[in-house]
Each structure stands twice: as structure tokens, then as C-alpha cells.
Amino acid sequence: MASETGLSPGPAVARVLQSEEAVYGLILVSGMIVVSNSLVGTSFNALVTVAVTVLVFFAAHVYAGTLARLAATDGAAGLWSSLRGAARHSRGMLVAAVPPLVILLLGTTRVIDDDLAIWSALIIDTVLLAILGWFAVARWTKRLWPRFVSALITAGFGLILVALKAFTHH
């Protein structure tokens, strides 16, 4: 198997990356890159905007998840257990944001040009969305067409934001 040969992430990482939070996190990052680029247009601005927004959305998601767990159990789950469960459930949002944030950091430190960093982060997000869509469906079917359709739909969210950036900024 691929995981036995070291070609794929371990089961725990795969579960985090194949979560709705990871998909949502990538779409959020792409949207924030587009919005931040309309303000100042630097990779530093995009980096700060994306990092702060992802952290706020993560915290809000954990808070809402904690409240939902407590409500579902009439408080029997306990505050700390509910908080840990919600944070564990939401961590895909943080993990998925790392690659685009690293690319934006490369632009901020002038390793690559600002525009290249911003466009690369958007493209990486779209590619990652396609990969997440492919593997999410691959968990329940070996057929190729549902995997392709899922990859296209998931990547489509990123492509819409890439098109929005291209349309509004050039």
C-alpha cells in the first residue's frame, strides 16, 4: 500500500486533510487572498490577512463546536472534553492553510515576487482542493469518474476565486 511505502501521509494526517474543514479552510484562504490583494496587493498584506482570518475562523469554529457538543449532551460531555473534540475536528482548517501561507511568506521575504507569491498561493489552493476532492471520493469508491467529478467540483471553488482575482485585478 502507498502508506506502507511512505508515499502518502499517515492515517491521522489523511483524516485531517480529508475533512470538510480542510476544504473550507482552503476556500477561505483563497477568498482572503483575493480580498487582501484588492486592498494593497502585497504578499505581506495577504499573509497577515489570511493568517488572522484563518485563526479567527478556526477559533469561531472551535467555539461553535464546543457549544454544540455541550448542547447535544446537555453538558454531560464537559467543557474541556467538548473543547478538545471541537479543536480536533476543526484542525483541518489550520493544516490546509499552511502551504499557501508558506508561499505568501516567500513573497513577504522577497524570495519570490509579490505577484508570483499571490498567484502561486491561489493556484496551490486550487490544486490542493482538487487533490482533496479526489481522495475524499477515493475513500469510498475505486471508480475513476466519481473521483474526477469530485476533483473538478472541489477545484471549481478555487477556480472561481482565481477567476475573480483575474477579473477584478487585471
- Using a CB cutoff of 8 Å and minimum separation of 24, what contacts does 56-62 make? 57/25, 57/28, 57/93, 58/90, 58/93, 58/94, 61/21, 61/86, 61/90, 61/93, 62/86, 62/87, 62/90
pLDDT level of residue 169 (50, 70, 90 thresholds): low
Q: What is the pLDDT of residue 55?
A: 96
Q: Cα 37 vs. chain centroid, distance in angstroms?
A: 18
Evaluated on CA atoms 125, 128, 134, 140, the torsion sign reads negative
Q: What is the pLDDT of residues 31-79, one digit of tens each?
A: 998 888 766 678 999 999 999 999 999 999 999 999 999 999 999 999 9
Mean pLDDT to the nearest integer, 75-87: 95
Threshold 0.75, pTM exceeds: yes
Distances (CA, A) of 155 to 19, 48, 86, 95, 134: 15, 24, 26, 18, 10
Average pLDDT over residues 106-115: 94
Of 42-46, 102-106, 109-113, minimum mean pLDDT range: 42-46
For helices 114-138 and 20-39, what crossing angle results, to 10°?
160
* Mean pLDDT over the full length of the chain: 88
Cα–Cα distance, 76 to 158 (Å, whole number): 40
Asked if 11 and 3 touch (Cβ cutoff 8 Å), the reply is yes
Question: Which of 95, 131, 83, 124 minimizes the C-alpha distance to 21?
Answer: 95
- Is pLDDT above 50 for 90? yes
> Domain segments of the chain: what residues?
19-169
**Amino acid in the structure at residue 99:** P
Flag whether pLDDT at 1 surpasses 50.
no
Instruction: Give the side-chain half-sphere CA count within 13 A for 148.
Output: 3
Query: How much is the pLDDT for 8?
Result: 54
141-153 residue pLDDT tens? 999 999 999 999 9
Q: What CA–CA distance (Å, rounded) separates 82 from 63?
A: 9
Residue 124 predicted with pLDDT over 50 = yes
**Which cell numbers in the block locate residue 7?**
508515499
Alpha carbon distance 44, 81 (integer Å): 37
Residues 6+ apart with CB under 8 A from 20: 92
